[in-house]
Amino acid sequence: MLYSINDVKNLFLEFFVQNQHKQIKNSSIVPENDESLLFINAGMTPIKKVFTGEQIPESNRMCNIQTCIRTNDIDSIGDMHHLSSFCMLGSWSIGDYFKEGAINFAYDFLINKLKLPKEKIYVTIFSGDSERKLPADTESEELWQKAGMPKNHILLRPFSDNFWRMGDGESPCGPCTEVFFDTENKSIKSYEESGFFDDKQRYIEIWNAGVFMQYLQHEDGSYTRLKTNSVDTGAGIERMTMVLNGLKNVYETQAYASIIQLLKNNSTSNKENSYRIISDHIRTSVYIINAGVEASNLKRGYVLRRLLRRAMRHLRAIGVEDEFLKTVVESTIDNLNECGLNPNWLFSKQQIVQKVLIEQEKFSKLLVSGLKTFNEFIASEQNIENGKLNSKLVFKLYDTFGFPFEITKELAEENNLSVDEAEFNVLLENHKELSKGKTGKVYKSGLADTSEQSVKLHTATHLLHYALKKVLGNHINQKGSNITSDRLRFDFNFERKMTEEEVRQVEELVNQVIEKEIPVVKEEMNLEDAKNSGAIGLFDNRYGDKVTVYTIGTYSKELCAGPHVNNTKELVKFKITKEESSSAGVRRIRAILQ
C-alpha cells in the first residue's frame, strides 16, 4: 500500500483522538507574543506557555499537525531528509500520562497501526550526565523493552542528543527518547556490524516519541524536579511518509516529487541537489510570504530573501530561464493544496506569485553581475589566502550585489574555497554601526525600521485606531504599537474579546478608507493649536512646543512622529490576522497588508 500525505495525517490524528487527545489548530508560522523566535520551529512552540505554567491548556491531552520552519540546517538541504519547512505530527500530555503512556502510544502507532517492521526500528534514550547530576533514563529503557522493543535496539545517548531544553535560561526540560528507522543503505554498515549508529545516511529519525519534562532548569545550571510531569512528541510527516513508502529520500514523497519532475523536465543540466534546494526553498518561501512577511534585510524578511535568492541562483545553475520561476511557485501552491499541507491562505496564488516576482526583479540583474564579479575575485590569487576568499570581498558581494552570505559560501565551496563567517559578521556589524552614525536616526512611533512596508503598516495603525473608535466606542485609545516590515501590532484599552462581527466591521472600515484614495496630510503646529484642531494624542511632555499632525480626510487626525505614505491607496488591502488579550483591560490586534 502506498501512503499519501493525507493518509498519514489522518492515521495520526485518528489514533490520538481515539486515545482521548483533543485536536488543536495549526498556528501561524510567525509566533504570537514571542519575540524570541523568528518562526515556529516545533509543534510545541505555539503552546510552550502551557509547559511553563503561564497558560491553561485546552485539554490535558492534545494533538495537531503544525507547520514548522527551521533554517539552522540550511547547508544540509538536499540530503536524504533535511528540509527548511516541514509539517510536524505532534501529541502532548500535560500532567496526565507520562513515560509509560508515551512509549506505549509510540510503539502501538508505529508497529500496530502503521505496520512498520519492528526489526527496522531503533530507539535512543538519555545515558545520564554526572557533571550535571542528571541520572540515566533507565525507566524508559525498561518501558521500551516491556512494550516489545528488543534490548539491542535501544541505544544510550548523551546530554547533547537526548536531553531537551528550551535554552540556557530557566525552563522546563527533561530526557527524551527518539525513534529511528533503518533505511538499509547498503553503503553504510549496520549498527550490529560496526558498533556505530550512523544517523546521517542509514538510520533516519522519524519521531521524538517523548520529551519527558520532569525537571526545571535554573539560571545557574542546576536542575530540580517539577511538580507536574508533561510529555511533548513530534514527527515530521514528510519523513514518516518516506519510510512508510520505502522511498530513498523525502524528495521522492508526494510533497516534492511533482516539483522535482517539473524542474527536471525544463532544465538543461542534471543537478539533483539544485532540484531539491529549489523545491524546498520555494515551498518554504510560499509559507513565509503567506504569513505576511515581506522580503528585506531584517529578521524574518532576511530569511525569506535568502531562501528566494538561493533558489534563483540554483535555477540559473540548471539552465532555467527567469520566467520559469512563476511556474514553479504556482505549481508549489497547487501541490500544497493537493497534498493537504496548505496553510490557511491569507493571500491568493496571484498575490504570492507577484511578491516572489518583485524579489526576483530586484535580484536578477544583480545576480548576473554578482556572479561575474565572484568569478573575477577567485581568478586572482591575491584575493585568496590558504584556500580562503578575502572576507572584504565576501562582504562586497553582500553589500553591493545582495548576495546572502550562504550563496557566497556555496559558490566558494563549489570552487574548493572557504569563507570566514566570523570575519564577515564583524564587517557586517561595523557597517551597521557606521550606518547608524551617518543617519543619526532612532525610529519612532513603534517602527522597527523605515522600510516601505513598515511605513505603510504605520499609516494603517492610524486607520485602525479610527475604525476601533467607530465600532467599539470613542473611549478606545491606543496603548502601544510595534511595527515591523512583516506586520503591525496595535494595543488598545478594551475589557473583553471582540466578536467576529466587530473584527470584520473594523477591517471593512479600514479598507473603505483605503479604497477612497485619500491623501495623508502632514502639518506642523504648536501644541495648543493641535489640541484645538481635534488631533488625538497623549499630549504629555514627550512633545515640544512644535508638533507634527497627520490628517487622513475626516477619518484620522493624530499627533505622530511619522513617517507615513502619501495616499491611502498605497496600502492596497488591510487584513486582521489576530485579536487577543495583551494584559488586563488591554486587547491586541495583529494585522498585515495584502
Other Cβ atoms less than 10 A from the Cβ of 130: the count is 8
Is the confidence at residue 518, as pLDDT, over 80?
yes
Please name each of the domains of the chain with its CATH number: 5-252 (3.30.930.10), 265-437 (no CATH), 452-593 (3.30.980.10)
Q: Give pLDDT tens digits for 407-464.
A: 899 899 999 999 998 888 888 877 766 654 444 343 456 665 667 788 899 999 999 9
Q: Give pLDDT tens digits for 394-421.
A: 998 988 888 888 889 989 999 999 999 8
What is the predicted pLDDT for the residue at 439?
Answer: 42
Separation CA 299–CA 305 (nearest Å): 10
Q: Give pLDDT tens digits for 187-220.
A: 899 998 888 999 888 999 999 999 999 998 888 8
DSSP per-residue string spanning 354-379: HHHHHHHHHHHHHHHHHHHHHHHHHH
Locate 80 and state its grid cell.
536524504
Phi and psi angles of residue 508, each rounded to the nearest 5 degrees, phi first = -65, -40
Confidence of residue 542 (pLDDT cuts 50, 70, 90): very low
> 176 or 429: whose pLDDT is higher?
176
Locate 428 and state its grid cell.
557586517
Separation CA 129–CA 138 (nearest Å): 13
Separation CA 143–CA 346 (nearest Å): 45
Query: Are 295 and 304 a contacting pair, CB within 8 Å?
Result: yes
Separation CA 340–CA 353 (nearest Å): 20
SS3 420: coil
Q: Give pLDDT tens digits for 129-139.
A: 998 999 999 99
Q: How far is CA 314 from CA 80, 248, 404, 492, in A?
A: 19, 23, 14, 46
Which residues lie closer than 8 Å to 465 by C-beta, 6 or more apart? 476, 478, 490, 492, 536, 556, 558
SS3 316: helix
Q: Which residue has the cell 562586497?
A: 396
Separation CA 229–CA 95 (nearest Å): 5
Which residues lie closer than 8 Å to 85 by C-beta, 6 or more apart? 29, 67, 68, 69, 70, 280, 283, 284, 287
Separation CA 571–CA 569 (nearest Å): 5
Task: With CA atoms as reference, report the closest residue to 563 among 510, 520, 515.
Answer: 520
Confidence of residue 111 (pLDDT cuts 50, 70, 90): very high
SS3 548: strand
Which residues lie closer than 8 Å to 477 by C-beta, 6 or more apart? 492, 493, 536
Average pLDDT over every residue of 537-541: 51
Number of H helices, E strands in the chain: 18, 18
Q: How many CA atoms within 13 Å lie on the side-chain side of 228?
A: 11
Separation CA 112–CA 108 (nearest Å): 5
Angle CA 422–428–431, to nearest 5? 145
Q: Which residue has the cell 564577515?
A: 424
Q: Give pLDDT tens digits for 226-271.
A: 888 999 999 999 999 999 999 999 999 999 999 999 999 999 988 9
Runs of H (alpha helix) within 233-387: 237-244, 257-266, 272-290, 299-317, 324-339, 349-379
Residue 488 pairs with which residues in a beta bridge? 483, 591
Task: With CA atoms as reference, report the closest residue to 307 among 511, 77, 123, 22.
Answer: 77
What is the predicted pLDDT for the residue at 447?
Answer: 66
What is the predicted pLDDT for the residue at 55?
Answer: 85
Identity of the amino acid at 519: P
Separation CA 490–CA 498 (nearest Å): 14
Phi and psi angles of residue 566, each rounded to the nearest 5 degrees, phi first = -90, -25
Q: Give pLDDT tens digits for 217-232.
A: 888 888 999 888 999 9
Query: Are 433 and 544 a contacting pair, CB within 8 Å?
Result: no
SS3 323: coil
What is the predicted pLDDT for the residue at 440?
Answer: 39
Average pLDDT over every residue of 279-302: 92
DSSP 582: E
Separation CA 168–CA 214 (nearest Å): 16
Separation CA 130–CA 53 (nearest Å): 29
